[in-house]
Amino acid sequence: MNGVRERIEQRIADTYKQMGCVAAVECYNMLLGEYSVLLTNRRKLVMKLGSQTCICRKKKMTRLPCCHALAVITKANLWVYHFVHPMYKADTQRRIYNQVVYPMEMHDIATVDDRAGRVVGGDELDDDYKRCNLPLCNRRQSGRPPSKHKE
């Protein structure tokens, strides 16, 4: 058992399909786990397996291995599920949703007045809450602007 749900399994499988862009993987520093990933478009990326970071930043944003990380993990003969963030593991999800989740009351939530562009309501908000003016939603007219030359 790999410990992740089907949806995460599918995302990892889709990322494996993107590994075609990787041409070669070379180890820079085995102690730090730094690898150079050569892409088919001749670009080189640095993948740090020790700190689980890649220069493409997809791993940092999604907390799932990117295709460059999967190429390095495959080359190093490691298990890919060790590099999946614990929040995606089925056990973590089970522990989160094992308790009853109660809905929040929304009677004092502030709203935005579309016409005025101001935050209104929220009587229980403290005085330090900044009620800022939001930008107006003026739509730009489509098409070419009219000519300023009068004949």
First-to-last alpha carbon distance for the chain, in angstroms, is: 78
Q: What angle do CA 34, 39, 42 make, to 5 degrees?
A: 110
pTM above 0.85? no
Rg of the chain over all Cα atoms, to the nearest angstrom: 25
Are 23 and 38 in contact by the 8 Å Cβ rule? The answer is: yes
More confident residue, 11 or 59: 11
State residue 127's pLDDT score: 54
State residue 49's pLDDT score: 85
Write out pLDDT tens, residues 76-135.
899 998 889 998 898 888 888 888 877 776 666 666 667 766 666 655 555 555 555 555
Write out pLDDT tens, residues 25-77.
998 888 888 999 998 888 888 888 888 888 888 888 888 999 989 999 998 89
State residue 110's pLDDT score: 66
State residue 138's pLDDT score: 66
d(CA 95, CA 38): 40
